[in-house]
Structure formats: structure tokens, C-alpha cells
Amino acid sequence: MNKYVSILLVVLPLLISACSGEKGKDLYETAQFEEKQNNKPHAIQLYEELVAKYPDTELAKKAQERLSVLKQDR
């Protein structure tokens, strides 16, 4: 029994972090799509949401870079 609990304590956080990475990826890809469709306000909203929800990720850094470009073009 203790063996299974130990395994769950190791595996569960990994699964949760993997899922959050996928959600960030979905937001980033949707924001890119909106940007390509010239829907800059929605792209900005999505990039900002990604940065707020997943601030310490590589995708958040990329989103922040895109935000800088999009806001500069306004």
C-alpha cells in the first residue's frame, strides 16, 4: 500500500505539470492564430492570459515578447 502511495506522490505532480504545459501551449497557438488573422486585440488578450496563468514557463516568455511587438505596433 505504501509503495502505491509513494508512486502516486511522484507521478501525480508530473502529470499535473504536463497538463498545465499543454494548456499554455493551446493558449499560445490560439493567440498565434488570432495574430495571423489580424485579430490583434484578441491575440493580446490570449497572450496576457497565458502570462498570468503560467508566468514561469518558456511559453510565457515568448508570449511576453509577442505582447511587446503587438503593443508597439498599435
pLDDT digits (tens, 9 = 90+) for 18-72: 555 577 999 999 999 999 999 999 999 999 999 999 999 999 999 999 999 999 9
Name the residue type at position 62: K
Q: What is the pTM of this model?
A: 0.71
Q: Are 26 and 61 in contact (CB under 8 A)?
A: no
pLDDT per residue over 5-33, tens digit each?
555 555 556 555 555 557 799 999 999 99
DSSP characters over 41-71:
HHHHHHHHHHHHHSTTSHHHHHHHHHHHHHH
